[in-house]
């Protein structure tokens, strides 16, 4: 299944580095999301984009900067991260608010981020 693809799958970065995570969906969906998954914690919603417009920012620190150039692509720009930011970052998409089935979220395989 390659509906939502993420790159890179693994990333190690220093605290002073700048890197980006990329997500692409091939499902024709209108909404895209970034989630953070840490050990022994619920999935944390970070950002939501609907029709390229950011509709939700769950109090995410500014060292995480999302970008959504179109409905198929989503980026997460990373700079001056902290070791506690090490986690699995999952991109997801859904049909969007205009469909009742818009509740169904489809996840990418995730990007494992390690901050050293």
Partner 1 sequence: GENVEQHPSTLSVQEGDSAVIKCTYSDSASNYFPWYKQELGKRPQLIIDIRSNVGEKKDQRIAVTLNKTAKHFSLHITETQPEDSAVYFCAASHSGSARQLTFGSGTQLTVLP
Verify binding: residue 74, partner 1, rule CB under 8 A: no
Verify binding: residue 100, partner 1, rule CB under 8 A: yes
Token pair in block for residue 17: 């580095």
Q: Which is nearer to partner 1, 66 or 110 (CB)?
A: 110
Q: Which is nearer to partner 1, 29 or 78 (CB)?
A: 29
Neighbouring residues of 101: CB distance < 8 A, sequence distance ≥ 6: 95
From first CA to last CA, the distance across the chain in angstroms is 32
Verify binding: residue 107, partner 1, rule CB under 8 A: yes
Cα-only R_g, the chain:
13
Which run of H or of E encompasses 59? none
Provide the binding-site residues for partner 1, judged by CB under 8 A.
4, 31, 33, 40-43, 45, 48, 50, 55-56, 90, 94, 97, 99-100, 102-110
């Amino acid at each position: 299944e390659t509906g939502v693809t993420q790159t890179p799958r693994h990333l190690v970065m220093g605290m002073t580095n700048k890197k980006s995570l990329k997500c692409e969906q091939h499902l024709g969906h209108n909404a895209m999301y970034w989630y953070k998954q840490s050990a022994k914690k619920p999935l944390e919603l970070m950002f939501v984009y609907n029709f390229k417009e950011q509709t939700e920012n769950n109090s995410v620190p500014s060292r995480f900067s999302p970008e959504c150039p179109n409905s198929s692509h989503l980026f997460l720009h990373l700079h001056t991260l902290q070791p506690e930011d090490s986690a699995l970052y999952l991109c997801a998409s859904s049909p969007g608010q205009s469909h009742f089935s818009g509740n169904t979220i489809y996840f990418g395989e995730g990007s494992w981020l390690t901050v050293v």
